[in-house]
Amino acid sequence: MQYQYWYGEYGHGNFVQVQKQLQEQSKLNEEQSYKNAILLADVKDLKSGLSAIEEHARLDLGLIKAGETFVQLSNAPITYSRSMLTDDEQVVETVDSVPEPSAQ
């Protein structure tokens, strides 16, 4: 009896393994139900009004309404390079990117 309990096909070892699988599946189910709740809220927003549709169009498709001005800011760092002039043998510094605009 003890051998069957500890080492048998449906014994204690198998029970522990099934418990681990159950915990993993429960975690996956919890994550999926969270994702489903987000999608359900998104569907409700899309059905209830035009603001959610406009938001998606702006973010995903780049919608710009008539009368609006599109401004794109870059947060790329300014890089400098040095190049040698062969005529005067002077070092000239050039800016590779445009500096950020100052706040007004």
pTM for this model (two decimals): 0.45
CA distance 100 to 73: 8
What's the mean pLDDT in 16-33?
A: 96
CA distance 26 to 34: 12
Would you say residue 99 has pLDDT above 70?
Answer: no
Find the Cα–Cα–Cα–Cα dihedral 5, 10, 12, 16, rounded to 10°.
180
Answer for the pair 77, 98: CB distance below 8 angstroms, yes or no: no
Q: What is the pLDDT of residues 68-85, one digit of tens each?
A: 888 878 887 776 666 555
